[in-house]
Amino acid sequence: MKRFYRQTGIEPADGGWRILLDGRPMRTPAKSILLAPTRALAEAIAAEWNEVPDGAEINVAHLPLTRLAATGLDRVTTQRARVVEETARYAGSDLLCYRATDPASLVKRQHDTWQALLDWAAERYGARLVVVSGTSFVDQPADSVTALRGAVAAHSDMALSALYNLTHIAGSLVIALAVAEGRLSAGQAFDAAELDELYQIERWGEDPIAAERHKGIRKDIDAAARFLSLLEETRLGGE
C-alpha cells in the first residue's frame, strides 16, 4: 500500500492521544483506534508516518513505534497474562548467568559487564540469580524468579509490548528491565546482549551476514528503548 494521506497530526482523547492521518484517527490491524498514552509517543508515531515519502510504499519495518503500540493494544490487552509469562520465563535462563570458561579475556569481559547488571537486579528487585560457567542449565532460586515476574507484571500493556521484544532480542530479562528502568542505554544494551559476538568480531572480523544481523538487532533495541522512554510518564503504572 502506498502513502495515501497528506498530513499527520495528533489530538487529545480519553486515556491519551490519537494519531491522525488527514484528520482521521489511525487504527491498529485489529481495527482499534491507535491511542498513545503520552503526547511524546503520539508525536513520535505521527512523525514516523510523516517521514514516509509521497507515493512510497508503506513498509511496517520502517514504523517500529507504530508496531509496538499496535501490539500493545491488539495483543497485550487481550493476552496480558500470557505475555507476562512469556517475558518472565527468561528469568530462568537469562543470558547473563551463563559464562565462558575461556579465554581469560572473554571471561573477564563477561564478568565486568554482566555481573554489574546481575548485582543491580539483586538490589533493585531482591532477585539474586545464580551464575554458572559453561552451558549446563542451572535452576534459579524460585523467589528470585517470582520477584522478576512481578517486575514484569508491574509494566503497563504498552510497555510490556516493548519489554517482551527487548527480552526476546537480548536473551536477557535483566537487560530488558535495565533498559526499561533507565539503567542501560540502547547502545549499552546492545553491547551487553551481543558481547560474545562482538568479542569474536574483534578477534576475527565481521562478515556481511553478521553485520546485517547486528544492524537489525541494534535497530530493534533502539526502537524498544525509545518506545519505553516515550512512555516514561506511564511506565510501571505511573500517571
**Alpha carbon distance, N-terminus to C-terminus of the chain:** 37
Q: Are residues 108 and 220 in the same domain?
A: yes
CA distances from 202 to 167, 199, 206, 209 (A): 25, 5, 8, 16
Task: Evaluate whether residue 141 is within a structural domain.
Answer: yes
Q: Where are the alpha helices (DSSP H) in the chain?
A: 39-50, 64-71, 80-88, 104-110, 116-125, 142-153, 157-170, 173-180, 186-193, 195-204, 208-230
pLDDT of 147 over the 80 cut: yes
Indicate the range of 22-26, 137-141, 207-211, 213-217 predicted with least confidence.
Answer: 207-211
**pTM value > 0.85:** yes
Task: Evaluate whether residue 214 is within a structural domain.
Answer: yes
Indicate the range of 3-7, 87-91, 165-169 predicted with least confidence.
Answer: 3-7
Q: Are residues 97 and 12 in the same domain?
A: no
- Domain with residue 58: its CATH number is 3.30.2180.10
pLDDT of 236 over the 70 cut: no
Q: Are residues 90 and 183 in the same domain?
A: yes
Q: Are residues 129 and 217 in the same domain?
A: yes
Task: Evaluate whether residue 227 is within a structural domain.
Answer: yes
pLDDT tens-place string over residues 2-23: 999 999 999 999 989 999 999 9
Q: Are residues 117 and 219 in the same domain?
A: yes
Q: Are residues 143 and 219 in the same domain?
A: yes
pLDDT of 234 over the 50 cut: no
Three-state DSSP at 19 gives: strand
- Domain with residue 132: its CATH number is 1.10.3580.10
Q: Are residues 17 and 113 in the same domain?
A: no
Task: Evaluate whether residue 73 is within a structural domain.
Answer: no
User: What number of other Cβ atoms are within 10 A of residue 51's Cβ?
Assistant: 11
Task: Evaluate whether residue 68 is within a structural domain.
Answer: no
Residue numbers of the domain that contains 123: 80-237
Task: Evaluate whether residue 149 is within a structural domain.
Answer: yes
Cα–Cα distance, 232 to 40 (Å, whole number): 9
Q: Are residues 147 and 212 in the same domain?
A: yes
Task: Evaluate whether residue 17 is within a structural domain.
Answer: yes
CA 108 to chain centre: 27
pLDDT band at 233 (very low <50, low <70, confident <90, very high): low
Task: Evaluate whether residue 117 is within a structural domain.
Answer: yes
| CA neighbor of 167 nearest in space, from 73, 66, 94, 58 | 94
Residues 6+ apart with CB under 8 A from 56: 2, 3
